[in-house]
Amino acid sequence: MVRPLKVEIGFGSGDFLIEMARNEPECDFIGIEIYRPGIKKLLHKVETFGTRNIQIICGDAKEIIPSLPGKVSEFFINFPDPWPKRRHRKRRLIKPPVVDLIHKSLAPGGRVALATDIADYAGEMLCYFEAHGSFRNVAGRMNFFSRIEGRVPTKYEKKYLTQGIRIYYLLFEAV
């Protein structure tokens, strides 16, 4: 039997990914990251906890995602770099071509969970996924979740919630 495969794009220091892997030992996890110090931190955590269901890939997610056609049961994209300056926004990860790559990599009924504290980026991601036509917004058309029960919080998420900063949670299912 094939084990569910879950992928986190941009895992930072790896807290979310290691916790998810420990909570769901029946699943396999891949973490994709370009930030080498974060990879080093996660490798240390994997060794410390003896976690065996995580594979770590150093590289650009846009180049790695196509190697997983129809295999991913869930993608997690937590607090992607918002590139807040207008002239840098073209560098944002979530754009229509990446949404299409994600869709092609999802298994039937697969999901994409995103979180950000940046309102305009949340709106942008919402529009890209809804415009794709092959995703159903679990929160309802043009809606966000204000929280997701049972979600493992990231380091940034804990910090933002303590400070009272709003988090926008998006959850899409492939149709």
The number of domains in the chain is 1
Which pLDDT belongs to residue 128? 98
Pick the catalytic residue: 15, 28, 60, 81?
Answer: 81
Between CA 69 and CA 168 the distance in angstroms is: 28
**DSSP 3-state of 139:** coil
Which pLDDT belongs to residue 164? 96
171 close to 148: Cβ distance less than 8 angstroms: yes
Domain enclosing residue 21, as ranges: 5-174
Which pLDDT belongs to residue 83? 67
Which pLDDT belongs to residue 89? 76
Active site residue 60: no
In the 3-class helix/strand/coil scheme, how is 147-168 assigned residue by residue? CCCCCCCCHHHHHHHHCCCCCE
Which pLDDT belongs to residue 171? 98
User: 16: Cβ–Cβ under 8 A, 6 or more apart, which residues?
Assistant: 8, 76, 78, 152, 153, 154, 155
- CA 53 remoteness from chain centre: 17
Residue 121: CATH number of its domain: 3.40.50.150
Which pLDDT belongs to residue 144? 97
Q: What percent helix, strand, coil does the chain show, rounded to 5?
A: 40, 25, 35
**DSSP 3-state of 110:** strand
Regions of the chain with pLDDT less than 50 = none
